[in-house]
Structure 1
Amino acid sequence: MSPNPLLEPPAAHGMQPFADIRPGHYRPALEQAIAEREARVDAIAADPAPPDFANTVEALEFSGTRVQYIHDAFTHQVTAGGEAALTDLEQDIAVLLSRHEGRIVRNRRLVARIDAVHAGRDRITDPQSRALTVHWWRRMRRVGAMLPAEAARELGEVNRELSRECAAYRQTLIEDAHRQALAVPGPDALRGLPADRLAAMAEEAARRGRAAPWHVLPLASSTSQPALVQLRDRDTRRTLFERSLGRGADNEQRAARIARLRARQARILGYPSYAAWATEDQTTGTPKAVEAMFRRLAEPLLHAAHTERRALRARAGHRIRAWDWTHHAAAGPAADGGETGAEGPTADELRAHFELDAVITRGLFHSARLLYGLEFTERHDLTAHHPEARVFQVTDEHAGTVGLFLIDVFSRPGKRGGAWTGILRPQAHTTATRPVVVNTFNLTPPGAGRPCLLDMPEVVTLFHEFGHALHALLSDVRYPAHSAPGVPRDFSEAPAQVHETWAFDEQLLEHYARHHRTGQPLPPDWIKQVSERHSTGGVHLLVEILGAAAVDWSWHTLPDGPDDQGGNADWDAARIEARGAARWGLDTVPEIPPRYRSGYFDHVFHGPYGAGFYAYLWSEIIAANLVEALEKRGGLTRASGEALRTMLAAGGSRAAMTLFHELTGLDQPRIEPFLRRRGLPDVAPSPLSPNRTSP
């Protein structure tokens, strides 16, 4: 039998050997890696020497590197829409890993040794070693390693069931999103969409076996579809919106089961709710702090939304519905005529200046060059986790090779929706590994021979995810557990949100925003308008995000209670969503539904954002404070980059809010910079007080 490539030593560049990996390699490789790790863990637990940092904590940290290496390869391939055989393995892999983690957690001798090292942590002089000790102790405590035996067994059963439900939720969502795509028998109902999008839709129809004149528009992951901005036919907008809203009906009961299982997890671990467990190790610290933020933001957001709704109704001449809002907000007075209105260039005129490759190479990469002195060189000789992903070697002007950056931009069947950043290999000096980072998007393929032209929100998304990638690429820590991002989730979005503010920096726009045919730059007056528009606008998006955070929060603040057979109506999806909206006043703007609803909230019910979606808003408040501090250093300059790089490089080796304080001089984030950044009225001043804990 030929060797399993996943069990061979990694190549010098650090990326998994995807050219040689087949679906059949994953399970045997993972089983062997798990067996090896469990043997090492047993040896650590049975060590007759007194427990210390080196023979217990450090040894445990290094024990799982191969398991993580294999799991990261599998996760990236399956979420990228790989072979069906990979999807078939997903639930088995989840159960295998859940059982493995359970066996480690139940190793009482290991837990006792970690507890002993933690008790004497003040004698560990190296800060990163001390932080790693606290990391493993907290991790063990929070997953139930210190529970009595009976409670630990119950928790293990809950965890296994939860793994199965989360995997099934994702698979159901993929299948339903594919079925719900909008099919239109001809282009007349699609007036307003640019020619390249129409061509892509015709090709998508052909792939699905529908001949001309059929067009098929796949659904984006969010409730509000990007095409609603441009579609002029109101009936088409309504149909598209209702298809989006109707996704995941079969997942609503599964969402309830997932939330119930999480509530049970929290109860077993001694917390009143899953939200209390989830926020404990975040910068917010408690559910109370999150809810204070919700209250503080709701009033200015709703004030702005009500004002904008009145203006849009006057502009449109009819009542604004959910499928109308973004169309009229974006198009201005010329919504139906397609001509440039008083508010500036049309969306199509702007798109012509934002061609995908130019945005990547002359926008993203140039911003990294200006800030950090990084260079990106494409490596055509390296095979990524999917054939359509591109690989770039990243070098530093002083330090040489930094790592690899991968980017996978287009949607495809089976690919997880949305945009995200993943880590194929974490940076760590002790393991001599450089970072391998992946940015994934779901842009509509433009069709053969056509340029891919981007809307403004798509440009922002590229810069946002690139900010996450830079965080990981600039990591400079000793241990994999601290590798950047490696920070609390409600802080991790902040660096990405800082970087997205530079997408429409006037200096950078002049460099990369050029007409895809003529090469002419954006006219100076357009640059100014675009820069100003995207430094403030977006009340619709903010209300969407607050609505989604409220849905997430409503599910995960429920305590463990009677099972479904008890007739507990609290676990009904419609009731949960309505309760979340009403609590924060969002039911007064029903025209802006949550960005995600229970049936298609992949971030929360499959991804890692359960009781944590609020982080997008909390992090943006942090980011707005960081941006104002960086503007004092010149904005998009090397001085700003060096200050920001110091914060990014620390990853999880230091407390996030300590890093925030060192860059801004503030003890806690203030909401006023966020309100200024978004052009919102300051109608209810109050302080925000994150929990500042140190490792």
Structure 2
Amino acid sequence: MAETPWTNTLDYDYPDMTTVDDAAWAPAREAAIEVQRGRVETIAADAAPASVANVLHAYALSGQELDRLQRAFGAVTAADGTEPRQRERAAAAPEIAAHHDWITLHPGLFERFGQLQHRIRTGQESATDEQRWFLDQLILKSTVAGAGLCGADQEQLKSINRQLAQEEASYSHLQVHEAQQSALLIESIDELTGLSESQISSARAAAQEAGYASGYLLRLTMPAQQPVMSSLKRRETRRKVHSASVKRGSLVGEDGRTTREIGARIAVLRAHKARLLGYENFFESVLPLRTAPSREAVETMLRRIAAGAVTRVGKEVQRITEHLGYAPEPWDLTYGIEQVRSAQSVSGAPSRTISLDEALERLFDAAHRTYGITVVEREDLPGYVPGARSFEVFDGEISTPGTGLGLFLLDLYTRSTKSGGAWMNGFSVPSTLLGSQAVVTNNLNVAPPSEGQPTVLTKSEQRTLFHEFGHALHALLAEAEFPQLSGTAVPRDNVEFPSQVNEVFRELYRRPTPPGTVPAEDQLWGKGYSTAEHLAAVVIDLAWHTLSPEQAEDAAQDPQDFEDRVLADWDLDLPLVPPRYHGGGFKHIFASAGYAAGYYSYLWAEVLAEDASEWFREVLTDDDALAQRGALFRRELLARGNTRDPLDSFRAALGRDPSPEPLLRTLVPEVPASTG
């Protein structure tokens, strides 16, 4: 076993991150890269007939040490990105990018893949359906990445990829730094009227931690609209918070650039990369690896959703104006939404806030009732970062520790070194080839309570908890031979689908409401606003990534003006609804390529999720029927991951193709139910 930065492992081969030596990351990474390079060269040079064993299995196992190392580093750095770790991330990014290029573009390896594909197709080598799928995906990814380019073009491609890795790391570093600088110091407690005692205590503790002798520090979360704005009663305080939030992207970094400017440069490089690969734009270059059939299909769906969202926003603003008694500004919208919700008791949802203990009880109970699993806390296991909690997940009833499906690690609280937003990471994934099981993390940014006080989650945080646990379940319940296909390793525009479906199980704990007492409009209260702000971010992403190199260079001259024109073209230039993210604060698409040209994935996945959620809602009051559908969904969809086309998994679970009508009904209730 290669040297690692940690000195001890726990159940499920989970690294004990309390024993990490941060100075060991770089040498361990370099050693792991060399190990994989040697194995790939061996595969490529092998003169024996290509087989599943000497090509496919050998390749899948070639980078296991590097993968394990990068997973651990990514998990701990996102949750606790100290300056040394941020520096290591920046230094490692171009090296990792170059290594991935070396493998993806390796002519000998690509040739061996082709040889094996030919032998399987001609009956000279047998293979399972998963093995055939994996091989086809590897060849597709290599082709899309430029494996067929000539030598000079490949060198140019590698240079662009190295530049992209450096720019993405710079974007991430500056964004984390700006988030720290953007925290808002409030001098008087009166300005925080409307916040809970726990939130106020947390803000006071944050100020003390930051070195302020007095006052209250409000740290900003990633989206434009900050959660506290729905509770703050003073308009001036809401205005201050809003102003601090939307101006992000203006801080100048050490190299004299803002994140807006770095993001624009990333878009330019991606456009040049796409042209080199023979595509019109970056979106077209990644489309073969997605489930969406075409750009036209994506934009047609988005424009239908946009029309419904804009219509609903107008109705919501009118109702908020009537309730508040004045014309709202952008910092009044989420406050007004909550005020109307409270006054009208709309949606039949659970109380706005519940304790963390109750939220976790609901979360784990829903998973037990739907999928038959049991989750128990493992207080004997150390957290991978300070304050994280560890849970073991069993298939069925509780058994001997270490014999379950895997571990679920929860890092709930915000910290100054933590990335914004909420996400899932994995230290390992289930793989019969590796003999590994899932060790997954969920990360939120909840304000820690004051000492001696319980943690209380808002309605939005409860939803996020269920959402992220949906990702965790996708990994924990996976069944795959190859780690590269396991769990959440699905196309980017499909990965959010299971997590969005998991949100429906919050409805198991709603207060019952008599039929007909809650109007359809009230059940969907606030949906127009939330969809419009999200959709504005989606079209900004699409706009940057559907440009030619020349168009991208032109847009980069004034990134904000470019985005303003894009929103106007989509009729989403709504003065009261700023985009959820803009180019200066869009970690999803500029801190890495993960969601680049793919932030539409959330809405594309929501089409699938709303359809599947309606399917589950039909049986939420019948535990036996819920368990039956849960077992089918688990077996045919969650367990399958990317071992086959994810749309085939949808059809196998629900018995039909997905329909967009359920999602459209959340925006325009008069859309009729499907009769298919």
Q: Give the TM-score normalised by the residue count of structure 2.
A: 0.92
- Residue in 1 that maps onto 2:442: 439
Mapped partners of 2:578, 2:544: distance in 1: 17
Given the alignment of the two structures, is residue 234 of structure 1 paired with residue 230 of structure 2, yes or no? Answer: no
Mapped partners of 1:8, 1:166: distance in 2: 31
Unpaired stretches in structure 1, ≥5 consecutive residues: 334-339, 510-521, 687-695
Q: Give the conservation status (yes or no) of the 8 Å contact 2:346–2:523.
A: no
**Which has the higher mean CA deviation after the structures are superposed, 44-53 or 626-635?**
626-635
Alignment length, in residue pairs?
655
Q: Give the conservation status (yes or no) of the 8 Å contact 1:536–1:679.
A: no
Amino acid in structure 1 at the alignment position of 2:43: I
Mapped partners of 2:139, 2:564: distance in 1: 39
Secondary structure of 1:34's aligned partner: helix
- Residue in 2 that maps onto 1:557: 546
1:243-276 deviations in whole A, cap 9, x for unaligned? 1001122111100011111111111111111111
Given the alignment of the two structures, is residue 44 of structure 1 paired with residue 30 of structure 2, yes or no? Answer: no
- Residue in 2 that maps onto 1:205: 207
- Residue in 2 that maps onto 1:269: 277
* Pairing partner for 1:178 from 177, 180, 188: 180
- Residue in 1 that maps onto 2:568: 582
Deviation of 1:609 after TM superposition, in Å, equals 0.7
Deviation of 1:115 after TM superposition, in Å, equals 2.1
**Which has the higher mean CA deviation after the structures are superposed, 669-678 or 628-637?**
628-637
Q: Give the conservation status (yes or no) of the 8 Å contact 1:437–1:472.
A: yes
* Pairing partner for 2:628 from 639, 658, 666: 639
Mapped partners of 2:373, 2:585: distance in 1: 37
Amino acid in structure 1 at the alignment position of 2:298: V
Mapped partners of 2:168, 2:268: distance in 1: 12
Mapped partners of 1:142, 1:475: distance in 2: 27
* Pairing partner for 1:494 from 493, 497, 518: 497
Given the alignment of the two structures, is residue 188 of structure 1 paired with residue 185 of structure 2, yes or no? Answer: no
Mapped partners of 2:6, 2:338: distance in 1: 52
Q: Give the conservation status (yes or no) of the 8 Å contact 1:626–1:663.
A: no
Mapped partners of 1:617, 1:219: distance in 2: 25
Deviation of 1:11 after TM superposition, in Å, equals 5.0
- Residue in 1 that maps onto 2:663: 674
Mapped partners of 1:679, 1:562: distance in 2: 36
**Which has the higher mean CA deviation after the structures are superposed, 10-19 or 127-136?**
10-19
Deviation of 1:8 after TM superposition, in Å, equals 7.7
Given the alignment of the two structures, is residue 610 of structure 1 paired with residue 609 of structure 2, yes or no? Answer: no
Q: How does 1:515-664 map to 2 (within 5 A)?
A: 537-561=526-550, 568-569=554-555, 572-587=558-573, 589-607=574-592, 608-634=594-620, 637-646=626-635, 647-664=637-654
Mapped partners of 2:75, 2:127: distance in 1: 38
Mapped partners of 2:244, 2:264: distance in 1: 22
Mapped partners of 2:478, 2:42: distance in 1: 31
Mapped partners of 1:126, 1:36: distance in 2: 28
- Residue in 2 that maps onto 1:144: 146
Q: Give the conservation status (yes or no) of the 8 Å contact 2:93–2:166.
A: yes
Secondary structure of 1:203's aligned partner: helix
Deviation of 1:644 after TM superposition, in Å, equals 1.2
Mapped partners of 1:74, 1:480: distance in 2: 18
1:30-59 deviations in whole A, cap 9, x for unaligned? 111111110111111111112232211221
Q: Give the conservation status (yes or no) of the 8 Å contact 1:547–1:594.
A: yes
Deviation of 1:236 after TM superposition, in Å, equals 1.2
Secondary structure of 1:490's aligned partner: coil
Q: How does 1:476-495 map to 2 (within 5 A)?
A: 476-495=479-498
1:271-290 deviations in whole A, cap 9, x for unaligned? 11111122222111321111
Amino acid in structure 1 at the alignment position of 2:649: L
Instruction: Give the share of equivalent positions with the same residue, in percent.
Output: 31
- Residue in 2 that maps onto 1:517: none
Deviation of 1:107 after TM superposition, in Å, equals 2.4
Deviation of 1:629 after TM superposition, in Å, equals 2.4
Q: Give the conservation status (yes or no) of the 8 Å contact 1:322–1:590.
A: yes
Q: How does 1:17-166 map to 2 (within 5 A)?
A: 17-122=16-121, 123=123, 124-166=126-168
Amino acid in structure 2 at the alignment position of 1:356: L
Q: How does 1:395-434 map to 2 (within 5 A)?
A: 395-397=394-396, 401-434=404-437
Mapped partners of 1:483, 1:651: distance in 2: 5
1:221-250 deviations in whole A, cap 9, x for unaligned? 100111111111111111110110011221
1:13-39 deviations in whole A, cap 9, x for unaligned? 121231322101111111111111101
Secondary structure of 1:489's aligned partner: coil
Distance 1:420 1:7, change over 3 A: closer
Secondary structure of 1:406's aligned partner: strand
Mapped partners of 2:666, 2:347: distance in 1: 22
Amino acid in structure 2 at the alignment position of 1:377: V
Given the alignment of the two structures, is residue 330 of structure 1 paired with residue 338 of structure 2, yes or no? Answer: yes
Secondary structure of 1:401's aligned partner: coil
Mapped partners of 1:534, 1:449: distance in 2: 36
Deviation of 1:666 after TM superposition, in Å, equals 2.3
**Which has the higher mean CA deviation after the structures are superposed, 203-212 or 434-443?**
203-212
Amino acid in structure 1 at the alignment position of 2:316: E
- Residue in 2 that maps onto 1:519: none
1:54-82 deviations in whole A, cap 9, x for unaligned? 21122111101111000111111111124
Distance 1:121 1:579, change over 3 A: farther
Secondary structure of 1:394's aligned partner: strand
Distance 1:327 1:563, change over 3 A: closer
Deviation of 1:536 after TM superposition, in Å, equals 6.2
Amino acid in structure 2 at the alignment position of 1:186: S
Q: Give the conservation status (yes or no) of the 8 Å contact 2:408–2:439.
A: yes
Distance 1:425 1:126, change over 3 A: same
Mapped partners of 1:179, 1:59: distance in 2: 47
Root-mean-square deviation (CA, aligned residues, Å) is 2.7
Distance 1:562 1:586, change over 3 A: closer
Amino acid in structure 2 at the alignment position of 1:556: H
Q: Give the conservation status (yes or no) of the 8 Å contact 1:625–1:664.
A: no
Amino acid in structure 1 at the alignment position of 2:359: V
1:519-559 deviations in whole A, cap 9, x for unaligned? xxx79789x97999666642211111100001111111111
Mapped partners of 2:7, 2:319: distance in 1: 63
Deviation of 1:499 after TM superposition, in Å, equals 0.8
- Residue in 1 that maps onto 2:294: 286
Distance 1:270 1:474, change over 3 A: same
Distance 1:322 1:467, change over 3 A: same
Distance 1:634 1:225, change over 3 A: closer
Q: How does 1:677-688 map to 2 (within 5 A)?
A: 677-678=666-667, 680-682=669-671
Mapped partners of 2:347, 2:646: distance in 1: 41
Deviation of 1:579 after TM superposition, in Å, equals 2.5
Mapped partners of 2:299, 2:83: distance in 1: 42
Secondary structure of 1:13's aligned partner: helix
Unpaired stretches in structure 2, ≥5 consecutive residues: 251-257
Q: How does 1:459-470 map to 2 (within 5 A)?
A: 459-470=462-473
Deviation of 1:409 after TM superposition, in Å, equals 0.4
Q: Give the conservation status (yes or no) of the 8 Å contact 1:485–1:492.
A: yes
Amino acid in structure 1 at the alignment position of 2:24: H
Distance 1:8 1:231, change over 3 A: closer
Q: Give the conservation status (yes or no) of the 8 Å contact 1:553–1:580.
A: no
Distance 1:217 1:530, change over 3 A: farther
1:431-478 deviations in whole A, cap 9, x for unaligned? 100011100000111111111111111110100001110111000111
- Residue in 2 that maps onto 1:371: 370
Distance 1:326 1:478, change over 3 A: same
1:321-374 deviations in whole A, cap 9, x for unaligned? 1111111111128xxxxxx63436999x9345x1012211x1111111111121
- Residue in 1 that maps onto 2:254: none
Amino acid in structure 2 at the alignment position of 1:238: R
Secondary structure of 2:530's aligned partner: helix
Distance 1:115 1:344, change over 3 A: closer
